[in-house]
């Protein structure tokens, strides 16, 4: 009985999302599985190009800076953000920051949405523990995946996908 109540509550909650988000959730779910598998079996250099073209770090640049979006693109990026968050909560495997960043890139790229993907590292508060890595994506100045305490992380890589600009 409890399980039925839980499922009914989750179904009602899911029904409250816009149709664009509900349609993207199954796609994001499958892509999260593929991204997780790629991360487990492939070297980073093989899937990193999906994140965009590697660009040098510029200390003075804001981590939110990236290609600007028009209102329809901004709406699509927001729907992608919500769909990835919902799908990540449903996966039986860990769908943490890097798989989410890869999925965001895979969904935004064909829609012509420009984005920037960042990779960062930090240590715990005492600085003695193991390093922790984090990935986040930004589109139009808004965080699509990987929101959190980003000020803690030292950015070590930046990847940019700008569909308006032809890159060599």
Domain boundaries of the chain, sorted by first residue: 2-161
Residue 78 pLDDT: 95
pLDDT in tens, 4-29: 776 667 667 777 788 889 999 999 99
Model confidence band, residue 127 (pLDDT cutoffs 50, 70, 90): low
Contacts of 134-137 with C-beta under 8 Å, sequence gap 24+, read: 134/97, 135/97, 135/98, 135/100, 135/101, 136/63, 136/97, 136/101, 137/100, 137/101, 137/104, 137/105, 137/108
Q: What confidence tens digit (pLDDT) does each residue in 129-162 have?
A: 788 899 999 998 899 999 888 888 888 999 999 8
């Amino acid at each position: 009985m409890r399980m039925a109540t839980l499922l009914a509550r989750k179904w009602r909650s899911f029904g409250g999302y816009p149709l664009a988000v509900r349609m993207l959730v199954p796609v994001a779910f499958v892509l999260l599985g593929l991204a997780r598998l790629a991360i487990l079996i492939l070297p980073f250099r093989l899937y990193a190009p999906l994140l965009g073209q590697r660009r040098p770090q510029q200390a003075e640049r804001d981590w939110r800076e990236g290609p600007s979006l028009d209102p329809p693109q901004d709406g699509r990026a927001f729907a992608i953000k919500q769909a990835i968050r919902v799908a990540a909560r449903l996966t039986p495997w860990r769908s943490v920051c890097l798989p989410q960043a890869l999925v965001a890139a895979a969904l935004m790229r064909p829609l012509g949405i420009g984005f920037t993907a960042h990779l960062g590292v930090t240590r715990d508060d005492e600085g003695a523990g193991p390093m922790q890595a984090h990935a986040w994506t930004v589109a139009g100045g808004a965080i699509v995946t990987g929101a959190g305490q980003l000020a803690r992380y030292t950015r070590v890589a930046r990847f940019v996908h700008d569909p308006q600009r032809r890159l060599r």
